[in-house]
Structure 1
Amino acid sequence: MQGNDDRDVAYSFPLPNSYLDLYDGSKIASYLNSTSIPTATILKSTAEKNEFAPVVASFSSRGPNPITNDILKPDLTAPGVDILASWTQASSPSEGDPRISPFNIISGTSMSCPHATAAAAYVRSFYPSWSPAAIKSALMTTATPMSVEANSDAEFAYGSGHLNPSMAVNPGLVYDAEELDYATNATVWDLNYPSFALSTKPGNNTTRIFHRTVTNVGSAVSTYRAVVYTRPGLMIKVQPSVLYFKSLYQKQSFVVTVTANVGKSVNMISASLVWDDGVHHVRSPVVAFVAPPTND
């Protein structure tokens, strides 16, 4: 069987088959028509460790945020390709097949969302009083960074990184927010979000100031130092660069000033801000990019 569907996801078929893209499929079809005794050999497959894994699927949506450029989306990525999952027995897992099964191999948001939801529920089981924003922050700031080489869209593909539930239960600091925060913030840059996004025009120097507040949920007495990882074209300044905590759930505020010049050779520059106390590494992506054109 041949077609142009995504090659990084499996599909269920009513009969055993091999799926090929149109190019490889046409070559096999030509061979079949060239001989009366076609032969084929199926070789044993070997498993290899992919140093770039995990990789965001080709069919996954990408940023930037179409509604508000300066809120980075997606937030993070979770497993969602070829997931063995429960399946309704009211219909067949393969089209046109009367057989039914309680399981199926499924891909998409319908699989990634349950992973993220379960991780959020797992964090909440440790901290029942935490707000949704605090739980979201814990998931984002402890996500595993992903490879830019394997994901050319960088943070626009994976956000903060790959979900890591075991780390999320001990985030150290959280960026908390309540309903009122969304109603009263003067600018989008001051929304207490665990990521930083700056849209700009090609070749222009653009500066944005972000105000953030973190809540200590790690060690009662702790000192966090700001560590910035950046690249040419992106300057990041954090004030203060050291946060001192004397108790649990104490809050401390800081200001991040980002100056970017994007668009001469690249359309996006990725960086990160990490608050480090020697035990916890509270990581937030910082992204500057050329804003897409509008229809205005």
Structure 2
Amino acid sequence: MHETVPFKKATSKSKVPLNKKQPFFDKQGTSINTSRLEHDMHPIVYAGDVPNTREGYNESISRYCYKGSLDKKLVKGKIVLCDSIGDGVAASEAGVVGTIMQDAYYEDVAYNFPLPASHLGLSDGLDISKYVNKARKPTATIFKSIQREDDLAPCVVSFSSRGPNPITSDIIKPDLAAPGADILAAWSQGNTVTGLQGDRRVVRYNIISGTSMACPHATGAAAYIKSFHPTWSPAAIKSALMTTGHINPAKANNPGLIYDAGEEDYVRFLSGQGYSNKQLRLVKGDDSSCSEVTKEAVWNLHCPSLGLSVRSGHSITRVFHRIVTNVGSPESSYKAIVKAPNGLKIKATPKALRFNYVGHIKSFVVTVKAKLGETAISGALIWDDGEHQVRSPVVAHVSL
């Protein structure tokens, strides 16, 4: 667990010959195919040209390969070109041998389908459409997937949720990003590869994407840190993971400084959000009262990130109060390093923090001035002692 492997993408390659006597051209899309199509070439048809008219479907519906919209007699044993990405079940039920799907979404993640499939972008899909329309007997095949490096990694994939948080827009979300696209992991043999109708493949390992893959990465990293620091709070562990960059358990195990938060911090936060005594008691399970604590602004919750929402075209100045705890060298000095683009000014006071022992707590203030001419701008405040770089993202974004 010393470093995070870059995201990888599984791809499938479909070769579409102009005709059997001329050299072929191929298009490379994304999908997870564990085997190639039997035989070399198969007839290929456009889904819009083979509607199930007996059931009342026309081109406007069949082009998307919806359930029941394809004429089984016209597509059986062929590859079908669809104008959207789907689960492939409808095409499989119609008797096709493979599916080529074209649309502008989810090109950065590969999915499993009941039959060999390839997901293409609109440009490549258009090329195949032209070929299907012009060739007298168009044919194609779909190969077993190959693995390739993703040049954009690490980045947030298109299907992932993003901030800002509509309820508390001054708290940056997500807190952490973890590998969750095309992850190989153990798989229950009580289910098929896709779990879809008609899929009979049973495997010990599978490749899937989503929270089901990202969450175990983050949870495992948190458990790893907890094993070395059993007294650390959940907030401390989260801080260690957040301030040491893209999920890096070894580095997070020695973060230098942590932004810790306890029960009272969260009570002040909830009170500042306008919680009533009844609501607060439902959360805490005791007789707490909002009147017993000082209400705190959302942005002063002790988390490593600093966020502020700004009305488009307006300027804002905000003061953040933060507390950090030394968990590194007993005697250490940290200096503030600011990274800010145009439109964002960040100032830390004091500019240096001196710690005399492990567990020593220091407070500081961060003043941020922002003027947005775009959706969002981001910078960072880094506390550096020469060994540790404790990084806090600073993000200003347009108010929802």
The two structures have a TM-score, normalised by structure 2, of 0.63
Once the two structures are superposed, residues 138-168 of structure 1 have per-residue CA deviations (whole angstroms, 9 ceiling, x without a partner) of 000001xxxxxxxxxxxxxxxxxx2111210
Letter in structure 2 aligned against 1:13: F
Kindly tell me: are residues 85 and 283 of structure 1, through their superposed partners in 2, closer, same or farther at Cα, counting changes over 3 Å? same
Question: Could you tell me how far apart the structure 2 residues matched to 1:125 and 1:166 are?
Answer: 12
Letter in structure 1 aligned against 2:172: L
Gaps in structure 2 of 5+ consecutive residues: 1-98, 270-295
**In the alignment, which residue of structure 2 is the partner of 1:115?**
217
1:270 partnered with 2:372: no
Question: Could you tell me how far apart the structure 1 residues matched to 2:123 and 2:148 are?
Answer: 25
**In the alignment, which residue of structure 2 is the partner of 1:196?**
306
**In the alignment, which residue of structure 1 is the partner of 2:233?**
131
Question: Could you tell me how far apart the structure 1 residues matched to 2:369 and 2:122 are?
Answer: 47
Question: Could you tell me how far apart the structure 2 residues matched to 1:72 and 1:206 are?
Answer: 17
Asked if the contact 2:116/2:142 (under 8 Å) is kept, the reply is: no
Question: Could you tell me how far apart the structure 1 residues matched to 2:132 and 2:313 are?
Answer: 55
Letter in structure 1 aligned against 2:155: V
- 1:24: how far off? 3.2
Q: Equivalent of 2:334, from 224, 231, 240? A: 224
Once the two structures are superposed, residues 12-33 of structure 1 have per-residue CA deviations (whole angstroms, 9 ceiling, x without a partner) of 1233333334553353244235
1:286 partnered with 2:394: yes
Aligned-pair Cα RMSD in Å: 2.3
Q: Equivalent of 1:180, from 247, 257, 264? A: 264
SS of 2:323's partner is strand
**In the alignment, which residue of structure 2 is the partner of 1:141?**
243
**In the alignment, which residue of structure 2 is the partner of 1:207?**
317
1:98 partnered with 2:206: no
SS of 1:9's partner is coil
Kindly tell me: are residues 233 and 175 of structure 1, through their superposed partners in 2, closer, same or farther at Cα, counting changes over 3 Å? same
Question: Could you tell me how far apart the structure 2 residues matched to 1:187 and 1:15 are?
Answer: 54
Letter in structure 2 aligned against 1:273: L
Question: Could you tell me how far apart the structure 2 residues matched to 1:36 and 1:279 are?
Answer: 68
Letter in structure 2 aligned against 1:196: L
Kindly tell me: are residues 233 and 220 of structure 1, through their superposed partners in 2, closer, same or farther at Cα, counting changes over 3 Å? same
Asked if the contact 2:118/2:142 (under 8 Å) is kept, the reply is: no
Stretch of structure 1 that moved more, 85-94 or 205-214: 85-94
SS of 1:279's partner is coil
Question: Could you tell me how far apart the structure 2 residues matched to 1:46 and 1:171 are?
Answer: 34
The two structures have a TM-score, normalised by structure 1, of 0.84
Question: Could you tell me how far apart the structure 1 residues matched to 2:199 and 2:146 are?
Answer: 29
Question: Equivalent pairs: percent with the same residue?
Answer: 57
Once the two structures are superposed, residues 83-131 of structure 1 have per-residue CA deviations (whole angstroms, 9 ceiling, x without a partner) of 1122222221132212322221110111111100000001111101000
Structure 1 or 2, whichever has the larger Rg, is 2
**In the alignment, which residue of structure 2 is the partner of 1:86?**
186
Stretch of structure 1 that moved more, 39-48 or 197-206: 39-48
**In the alignment, which residue of structure 1 is the partner of 2:252?**
168
Once the two structures are superposed, residues 24-83 of structure 1 have per-residue CA deviations (whole angstroms, 9 ceiling, x without a partner) of 335324423533454669999895672x42121011111111110111111121000001
Correspondence list, 1:52-63, <5 A? 52-63=152-163
Kindly tell me: are residues 206 and 17 of structure 1, through their superposed partners in 2, closer, same or farther at Cα, counting changes over 3 Å? closer
Question: Could you tell me how far apart the structure 2 residues matched to 1:204 and 1:25 are?
Answer: 43
**In the alignment, which residue of structure 2 is the partner of 1:71?**
171
Question: Could you tell me how far apart the structure 2 residues matched to 1:104 and 1:35 are?
Answer: 38
> Aligned residue pairs: how many?
271
**In the alignment, which residue of structure 2 is the partner of 1:151?**
none
Kindly tell me: are residues 40 and 98 of structure 1, through their superposed partners in 2, closer, same or farther at Cα, counting changes over 3 Å? closer
Letter in structure 1 aligned against 2:106: D
Letter in structure 1 aligned against 2:158: S
Kindly tell me: are residues 13 and 46 of structure 1, through their superposed partners in 2, closer, same or farther at Cα, counting changes over 3 Å? closer
Question: Could you tell me how far apart the structure 1 residues matched to 2:147 and 2:364 are?
Answer: 51
Gaps in structure 1 of 5+ consecutive residues: 144-161
Stretch of structure 1 that moved more, 115-124 or 234-243: 234-243
Letter in structure 1 aligned against 2:337: V
Tell me which of the two structures has the higher relative contact order, counting C-alpha pairs closer than 8 angstroms and 6 or more residues apart: 1
Kindly tell me: are residues 89 and 164 of structure 1, through their superposed partners in 2, closer, same or farther at Cα, counting changes over 3 Å? same
